[in-house]
Structure 1
Amino acid sequence: MSELLLAPWTWLRESFAWPWWLLALPLPGLVRRLAPPARAGGAALRVPYGETLAALARGGGHRGAGGGVSPWLWLAWLLLCVAAARPQQLGEAVRPPHAGRDLMLALDLSGSMREPDMELGGQAVDRLTAAKAVLADFLDRRRGDRVGLIVFGRRAYALTPLTHDLASVRQQLDDSVIGLAGQETAIGDAIALAVKRLRRQPAEQRVLVLLTDGVNTAGLLEPLKAAELARADGVRIHTVAFGGEGSLSLFGLRVPLPGAGDEIDEAALQAVARATGGRFFRARDTAQLAGIYAEIDRIEPVARAGQAVRPRVERYAWPLAGALACAALALLWPRRRRA
């Protein structure tokens, strides 16, 4: 019952931009009925044939002593109120083009990311801190892209799905700490998880950017086997080998760090990128890493249809033209009758 009562109002809201203007339709009638009648004054001029003129006025003309307003004026007022309410019509549904990308980011959180062989703002920082800074800037430049975040150590975890809510992705990135997913490095499992998350996307939009500073030491899948799965599902992988030369800046001098600098399996990362049609990058400091993500940023965006919308077409011109025509007829019709 309530739906039936609301149906007319729903139709009005869909058909008119300002439906409240229709409330002005009875306004002239109310004024005519409620306004006090004009007081008859004395004759301004007495003529001997005054009764004859009064009889002519009662019998002819478009308005007599008891006559009403011309129907053309009433119709003009109705059309004017309809035009003021701005009648609209929903056009055909269109899907405007939308340029963007779907990017899945995979970040290494293994123990080796703790190595303090990076510099950021003139200070020595660990690899994860430097990577977070570059990735945060990379996210800030996204416009129309959907980004997801995977972290991996001994295991791989999807922290955020593909989403336009990049603030949530950045928050999850900021909250990530070394060892969150374990101390080892499961590169193959991270690739497999990304392939699973990207499988539902169109083929040209399946892109993974994987950053690591180590070799595959854990997980169920070897990186090359995972790369074969990615290639079968049309996932393009860009691999980033991140790590310094195994030295730390101390009082302006580079101090070697034992065991660091030779832990990255560049050959395996190159093979993964080559097998999936992606690119391999090597970053030895923060500046190089920023340049790599700037290069990834220049990957050709994918044009896809946006959300379907139905534009509103204005139709107020028709009733407005009708109102002007009726007003003109109301002025010309009495003259034609008298002629």
Structure 2
Amino acid sequence: MKRNVISRHARSIAVSVAISAMTATGAYASATDILFILDGSGSMWGQIDKIAKITTAKETLTKLIDDVPDGARVGLMTYGTQSKESCVDFRTLNEIGASAEAIKASIADIKPLGKTPMGMSLSVGIASLSKVEPLDRQKAVVLISDGIETCDSDPCTSAAMAKYLGVNMKVHVVGFDVDQEAKAQLQCIANAGGGQYFNADDTAGFNKAMEEVIEVAQAAPVVIAQVAPAAAEEAPAEPEGPVITEFFREDFDGEVLSDRFEIENENPDNYIVDGGVLTVLSTKFGTFDAEAPENLFKYTGELPRGDWDVEIQFTGEYTAKADRLTLGLRKDENNYIATGHFGMLFSAARCQKTEMFLTKMTKGEADSHGRPMRAVKDGQCYHAKPFGGEANWDVIQADLLEKPIKLTFSKRGRAYTSKIEMVGFTDPDGNPYILESDKYTSLRSPGTLAFQVDRMNNSSYASGEVLMMIDSLVINEVKSGGQ
């Protein structure tokens, strides 16, 4: 399949045009994809009207599944049902389009147990739903919860992702027997996701709220204006330049990795494949230069024989003060070429920044250079890109969770380079903010394609967990236009 590379921005415009056209005809009245995220945390055993909240929620949702109009498609996620302590305890029980009977069977099996990782569940659910074909269908996430986030994530920022993925998606929330603190957070989630919040204090209120949220989720968008379609233009000639062919793609669908991957020094407690996202957690220091880096994800298939690009797209919670994702070719800790992205929050030296790097390690001798991306204006690591410095680290951190980063590692002949882009992030002139590296040359292949997540500093100031959500890994074959 030959194609020219199309920017995500252009793809978003194309989808928006299709959405506008369908909206004008009212076609979305029932043609909606709805992903339910049902709270399975331990607090759902609490009682309202002498009935456990989880019992009411399961009974109501089961009845509603039968009432979803023809044309609508439904999926189901839950969290907190497998572990009392885990913050990556979330599962997709039924993909969008599953049968009503399959979804009702999944609902019946839910048994509340653990924490409330709403932010991570929303991140995974929204990313997964955004990739469900066809992309021009209306999509909705419906979160049902009885409490607040308990895993130090920011669910409001996660919900805001729905606005940046190039599809027509909203996040609606039903709060069941919540206090004022939880209500405020759940309202924030709905607002950030462009949806509505529904409050329920008792069983009758919950039944009504669920009926209303289903109606709202399937409602046709309001048509503000209609623009006559432009006259068809002759398709432009294919531009000169390299022809890019998709060679391999991993979207992390299903519940296990593709058989094209193996994991070196595996720690299964620190990664999960769910809902189209590979989520990796780390508290370890050491990446390609470590003798035994934890959870080194190695691609075992072939690479194109000539030139190629490898693209990895991800978001992350940069809360460990030294968060890093690395991608490259690795033979061992003394021989590799790798690129990556890291966020550093070094309070003692007032250095708060993000940076792309490219490193060549040959027989234990390393050469490396970096490209600063963003930094806090008043810090010692301040640089002028792209907005003259940020007001504080919270601004940068929120974007890193909300706007995916696309990191590209490229081979041209015997030269290796890298490039990075924050999707949905532009400079003051509206242009994509892209950084490119210098090049390193290697006469022989430096090793096997791999990627890994770690905490890039082992000093006392770097604490907490690194959490990265990897959306896709794509290998493209690159040939010149004459080939």
TM-score (norm 2): 0.35
Q: More helix by proportion, 1 or 2?
A: 1
Q: More strand by proportion, 1 or 2?
A: 2
- Which structure has more relative contact order (CA 8 Å, sep 6+)? It is 1
When Rg is computed on C-alpha atoms for both structures, the one with the higher figure is 1
TM-score (norm 1): 0.50
